[in-house]
Each structure stands twice: as structure tokens, then as C-alpha cells.
Amino acid sequence: MTKLPQVSHERIVRALERKGFWILRQGKHISMTDGENILIIPRQSAIKPGTLRQILDAANLTVEELKGLL
């Protein structure tokens, strides 16, 4: 298993936008969709590894794909 990178919510949002996701709404959390999947990203300077893993699973991304998008 590849180690998850430590990233902020801004970098994750930019990476997901490159993958085809767009922002639905923003508040304490950011809701994003690609038309099929809905992702909830907390506004944190560093996303915890477990949370990042759940975001990647919901977006159907691997760690390697995320690193390529960052």
C-alpha cells in the first residue's frame, strides 16, 4: 500500500477539478461532484489520512493518480 501524501483541502479540490469534479457548495465543508459521485471535503490545512482515503475511494482514485494530479 502506498503512503498517503499530506495535503491541504485546497490542493485536493484543485486535483479533483483536474479529474472532472466541480464544486456544488461551500461552507465548513466543500461538496464536489462529477455528476455521479458526491464528495465532502473538510476545510483543513492538513487532511487526515483516513479522511483522504475515504475521499479517494469515493472519487475512484488511487494514491498514484492523486499524486499525478497534485
Tens digits of residue pLDDT in 27-66: 999 999 999 989 999 998 889 888 999 999 999 998 888 8
Instruction: Kindly report the number of other CB atoms within 10 A of residue 54's CB atom.
Output: 14
Query: CATH number, domain at 26?
Result: 3.30.920.30
**Which residue range forms the structural domain that includes residue 29?**
9-69
Classify the C-alpha dihedral 54-52-68-22 as positive or negative. Answer: positive
Given strand 29-33, what is the order of strands in its sheet?
A: 22-26, 29-33, 38-42
Contact between 66 and 51 under an 8 Å Cβ cutoff? The reply is no
Beta-strand pair 38-42/22-26? unpaired
Which pTM was predicted? 0.84
For residue 4, is it within any domain? no
Residue 24 and residue 26: Cα distance in Å, rounded?
Answer: 7
* Residue 1, pLDDT score: 55
For residue 47, is it within any domain? yes
